[in-house]
Chains A and B, each alone.
Chain A
């Protein structure tokens, strides 16, 4: 049985390539602003952010307010349009009734119709999609460590979507291609527009704690 923790651990071994380390100016408090103080990071605390290969985006459900600006910015960046299907970060699915959908006690579960915890799904940059793809269309971007889809090879068969543990890689029917988080090539738009700093890039060293918080919200509320 594949577990999230297992995949996380396993994927660390694959996330190799040219080490990319540096301060992402556009990951700061907004981009291209004539008002920006670019010494602040996305928490507003004044620290810079270092991105290393093989990291991932994780949402803190305590802070997420369900505005879906991340989803829109993802669409602007990758497809030019906006919609939940083409977005690589998945907010809508869990927004109203939590990760398990409508339950008999929906009013105690996560979501806007429940206890208000919003639990967007993000790509954990594991290897499952890459390993199951019969076309060899998914590979590791050596600069960022992200698993990326080569649309020239993808035939839209959907194996990757079926197997994705986070249910974040999806086949877009209009072009019959799988789309997934590629960390925006190291320039994650979702985090840049987040109104509360709820979604952030985590290096592997930092990710386990963030994922542990996240995973507390993916099951039924006891």
Chain B
């Protein structure tokens, strides 16, 4: 059956690397799941086997896009990867997301998803040139870093192609690994899944189109409407400094363009000046946020231009020319690009001081090495772990004498970025050492080594140091051993609830796009009250007890996150709840996603209808988590926070000004209210049959019931 409306390519490509079989199925089976994450979760559910590991050959990995990707709609250049993840306990299902231009290329080649199953007997990469799909030998690139691998695949596919590849970390089955595209775009958590399949990468060349149902004028009108509302990265809608056109400013804003900022490494330096919200042809200059990563001085020396994803005018990637990468570190290039996570984790690992040359070099050297090896940090979890453990001087009691003597600690003590040059190979090549390489293995597999090393307060050799009590480690979900990612520190219970239910760090920016808009607190609180009810948004570090509005806010954020990961568009820019336009009273438009979907597909939907489709995948995700964990109680088995969340700032109580401390009883009340808002059993946090059936997920209820996991 042919899908006769826009946006969709209509086919899902399957490759079995064990049998070398290649086939397609219709996307029609997945339309109710919107695309992206929705397709991924449905395929994984359909192929579930109890106890399967992410690295088992029959585990499926799904790379998928939604109906908006490739359409040219603003910020629609995303692709989702879904599979069981070796980076989380029990290898539960997770989804990661990548920008750049790979997602649109998959669409132009004629596919809404690529699903790979099986394992090749020798290293391979998959070549997709429209309907010509083949499995190619990767023997010539196995063992190479990501940058050279991408070049080799592109050389074989043609200059106009797009590709992605794993580095040595994925090849060596390091759980904390990912894959990457040219331009610094990466997805983390599934590199070892690819490595276990002997799958080095995928090259795609698409000569087709993304069908658009709407007319040019309708697409341009919506584009222009969005340009009147959109802010900067994380939807910061005010500039970072006072400017002539703006009523408000916020120092934390990523709207960085101003007189002092120059793309100084451009062949003719580009002085940015002010970029007002209504300058449509200068919006790409707004987000010159390199100063967040390397400071103003090195921005003006090193920043060549901004980069980013397909169809996105908010350029959040910093393209840097750093001569020291060659002259001091002997890298073959002086160019490096990435965005937030690519730059900052090196500085979280080292004892650096913001604004210094060492800080700037740590950011770029660390980013380059991590990217080339294909190492994933779990939102900085590994780096925070290392730094706190080093500061607590634990390693001399955790490593063998031989290994301890092998680590150049003095480089860290002296704040020399060369320490990273030594450290990252320990992670990417865990078996290449004469000693056990506990340090590298821990950073490549913290979910396992937290238990192996007894970092839970039960190891007398390290004075019962407890990783769950250390706020500096940022380990937030104790059960899933994943890092805090915009949780209690920025939106109290709202952020905490968002951080509870995912199996990895949530990668949810729905709330950040409101909380960090840069508008005054009272104005944001007013907008939040309109959206979610009174009391939805507390002042930071002045939290009040849980209430219905906060629960509604948290649920809404997760639904929007899944919506964006399914459509597939950027959750670091959408939803647009606020705007920089005083004439709009700083209000945004949360119906834009539905407007885009309706125009492109021709399938008219309201915001509520679209949200319901996204919630279907959230519900499936939750049922899947119970199934994979074989859990009858996710409250006790999954939704458990680290002790530091409740015990930080011992001299202050929950609710006192100045602390992000949460309250144990209040959090349990919040969980109960949260479960009820989703239609989950209020005691166990597992979806009820009635809820699952209301989303067309009766098959999931049947499965849970057959395993004795369905509540009631």
Which residues of A does B touch, CB under 8 Å?
A: 29-37, 40, 42-44, 62-69, 71-73, 75-77, 79-86, 92-97, 101-102, 106-108, 111-117, 173-174, 189, 191-197, 216
Contacts and interface: CB of A to CB of B under 8 A. Distances in A.
A77 B311 CA distance: 15
Contacts of A106: 151
Given A107-B147, A115-B335, A196-B284, A32 B209 contact: no
A68 B307 CA distance: 11
A85 B209 contact: yes
Interface in B246-289: 266-268, 270, 278-285
A107 B333 contact: yes
B220 A67 contact: no
Interface stretch (B48-56, B187-195, B313-321, B383-391): B313-321
Interface residues of B, number: 68
Contacts, number: 200
Contact of A80 (B207, B215, B283): B215
Contacts of B266: 62
B210 A83 contact: yes
Given A117-B267, A192-B220, 19 more contacts: A30-B280, A33-B227, A33-B228, A42-B281, A62-B268, A65-B305, A66-B183, A73-B72, A75-B209, A83-B208, A92-B101, A92-B160, A92-B162, A101-B154, A116-B305, A116-B307, A174-B208, A193-B223, A193-B280
A72 B268 contact: no
Interface in B629-664: none
Contact of B183 (A79, A113, A197): A113
Contact of B212 (A29, A81, A113): A81
Scoring A72, A80, A86, A115 by chain B CB atoms within 10 A of each residue's CB, the highest score goes to A72
Contact of B159 (A75, A83, A94): A94
B281 to A, nearest CB: 4
30 contacts: A29-B278, A30-B227, A31-B224, A35-B583, A40-B279, A42-B281, A44-B282, A65-B307, A65-B308, A67-B308, A67-B315, A69-B311, A76-B212, A80-B215, A81-B210, A82-B212, A85-B209, A92-B160, A96-B150, A97-B151, A101-B154, A102-B152, A111-B182, A113-B147, A116-B305, A116-B337, A192-B280, A193-B223, A195-B284, A216-B267
A95 B333 contact: no
Given A76-B219, A114-B335, A196 B281 contact: yes
B183 A112 contact: yes
Contacts of A195: 281-284, 313, 315
B315 A65 contact: yes
A197 B282 contact: yes
Contacts of B304: 115-116
Ranked nearest first, the 6 interchain pairs of A and B with the lowest CB-CB distance are A72-B72, A195-B284, A83-B209, A112-B183, A30-B280, A116-B319
A36 B162 contact: no
B70 interface: yes
B312 interface: yes
B609 interface: no
A71 B70 CA distance: 11
A84 B183 contact: no
A79 B285 CA distance: 30
A32 B225 CA distance: 9
Scoring B207, B220, B268 by chain A CB atoms within 10 A of each residue's CB, the highest score goes to B220
Contacts of B282: 43-44, 195-197
A29 B306 CA distance: 20
A14 to B, nearest CB: 29
B281 A68 contact: no
Contacts of A115: 304, 321, 335
A175 to B, nearest CB: 11
Contacts of B396: none
A46 to B, nearest CB: 11
Scoring B209, B219, B227 by chain A CB atoms within 10 A of each residue's CB, the highest score goes to B209
Scoring B6, B155, B224, B304 by chain A CB atoms within 10 A of each residue's CB, the highest score goes to B224
B311 A68 contact: yes
Contacts of B270: 62-63
Contacts of A86: 209
A29 B312 contact: no
Contacts of A71: 72
B151 A67 contact: no
B71 interface: yes
A78 B211 CA distance: 13
B112 interface: no
A20 to B, nearest CB: 22
B310 interface: yes
Contact of A97 (B159, B210, B228): B159
A73 B208 CA distance: 16
Contacts of A69: 72, 311, 313
Contacts of B283: 195-196
B72 A102 contact: no
Contact of A82 (B71, B101, B207): B71
Contact of B216 (A29, A40, A64, A80): A80
Contacts of A66: 183, 307-308
B305 A82 contact: no
B335 A107 contact: yes
B282 to A, nearest CB: 5
A168 to B, nearest CB: 13
B444 interface: no
Contacts of A94: 159
B228 A34 contact: yes
Nearest to B213: A80
A70 to B, nearest CB: 10
Contacts of A35: 228, 278, 581, 583
A76 B72 contact: yes
A80 B307 contact: no
Scoring A35, A37, A75, A85 by chain B CB atoms within 10 A of each residue's CB, the highest score goes to A35
Contacts of B284: 65, 67, 194-196
